[in-house]
């Protein structure tokens, strides 16, 4: 018997209303989109924001300190890495104090978004142009991580999301100054949703039946994917001109997977490997 796929509850704030057929509520899909983003955008309301919501680009990663081996499709927290005196960290610290004094204050309310474009969809008319894309939203409450071991867990988690094994292969543990200047927010997720578009253009029947226009206007998809380039050694690097093989292997695999997915969702097979089902 297969494992049941967990979904976030559908509430007023996370239910997709525009093109609901593109909506995804599975934890696995949403968490993968969040984890694949180098940057997530975190929105919150600051007291001195003059009524405007604030939004910051941050580095974040899904994980579970209590269950480090948890699967990507399990219930997870989002860990956000920040500077000790930044505005959102200070607000998270205040919210943490409030939550410790009152069970009615779960933390700082935040909204998190991540998105990637996988293809430029060119149709017969401007109105039918689109993107192939993956986007995800999470809603939750942020509190400051105060336990030293959980903080180290989150710092390792975030560091290895930048590039694999960097925590294990660089100078660690952090020194006292680094630990003091770095803060981690833990976001307990209330709900979330994703929206995914794949495939070619969707032109109207009227335009499809216009043979003269179809002969004049090119329609199709231009795949879009991130490419990790050749490494450039730092001026002070004396550990060899070439980066370690494990990093170069990761770079190649990332590039191959990014291209494979972008081509697959555009309707093309990737020449380097078999076609697999897209997200």
- pLDDT string in tens for the chain (279-residue length): 567 899 999 999 999 999 999 999 999 999 999 999 999 999 999 988 788 999 999 999 999 999 999 999 999 999 999 999 999 999 999 988 766 665 567 999 999 999 999 999 999 999 999 999 999 999 999 999 999 999 999 999 999 999 999 999 999 999 999 999 999 999 999 999 999 999 999 999 999 999 999 999 999 999 999 999 999 999 999 999 899 999 999 999 999 999 999 999 998 765 544 433 344
State pTM to two decimals. Answer: 0.91
**What is the chain's alpha carbon radius of gyration, rounded to the nearest angstrom?**
22
Helix (H) or strand (E) holding 274: none
Hey, where are the domains in the chain? 20-200
Find where tokens 């494992």 sit. 3
Sequence length of the chain is: 279
The answer to whether the CB of 79 falls within 8 A of the CB of 94 is no
**β-pairing verdict for 40-44 and 108-122:** antiparallel
Count of Cβ atoms closer than 10 Å to residue 249 Cβ: 11
Of 119, 130, 163, 153, the C-alpha closest to 268 is 119
* CATH code 3.30.56.10 for 20-200: no
Of 4, 54, 51, 44, the C-alpha closest to 28 is 4
Find where tokens 């984890």 sit. 35
């Amino acid at each position: 018997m297969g494992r049941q796929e967990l979904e976030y509850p559908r509430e007023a704030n996370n239910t997709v209303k525009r093109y609901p057929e593109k909506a995804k509520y599975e934890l696995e899909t949403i968490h993968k989109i969040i984890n694949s983003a180098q940057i997530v955008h975190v929105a919150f309301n600051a007291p001195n924001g003059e009524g405007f919501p604030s939004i910051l680009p941050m580095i974040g990663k899904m994980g579970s300190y209590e269950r480090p081996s948890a699967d990507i499709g399990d219930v997870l927290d989002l860990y956000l890495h920040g500077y000790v005196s930044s505005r959102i960290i200070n607000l998270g610290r205040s919210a943490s104090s409030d939550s410790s004094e009152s069970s009615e204050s779960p933390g700082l309310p935040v909204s998190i978004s991540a998105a990637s474009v996988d293809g430029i969809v060119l149709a017969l008319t401007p109105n039918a142009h689109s993107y192939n894309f993956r986007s995800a939203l999470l809603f939750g409450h942020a509190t400051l991580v105060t336990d030293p071991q959980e903080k180290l867990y989150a710092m390792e988690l975030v560091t290895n999301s930048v590039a694999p094994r960097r925590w294990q292969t660089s100078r660690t543990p952090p020194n006292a100054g680094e630990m003091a200047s770095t803060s981690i927010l833990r976001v307990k997720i209330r709900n979330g949703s994703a929206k995914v578009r794949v495939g070619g253009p969707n032109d109207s029947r009227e335009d499809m039946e216009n043979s003269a226009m179809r002969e004049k206007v090119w329609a199709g998809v231009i795949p879009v994917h991130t490419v990790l380039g050749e490494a450039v050694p730092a001026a002070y690097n004396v550990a060899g001109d070439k980066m370690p093989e494990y990093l170069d292997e990761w770079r190649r695999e990332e590039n191959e997977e990014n291209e494979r997915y972008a081509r697959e969702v555009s309707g093309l097979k990737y020449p380097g490997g078999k076609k697999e089902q897209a997200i």
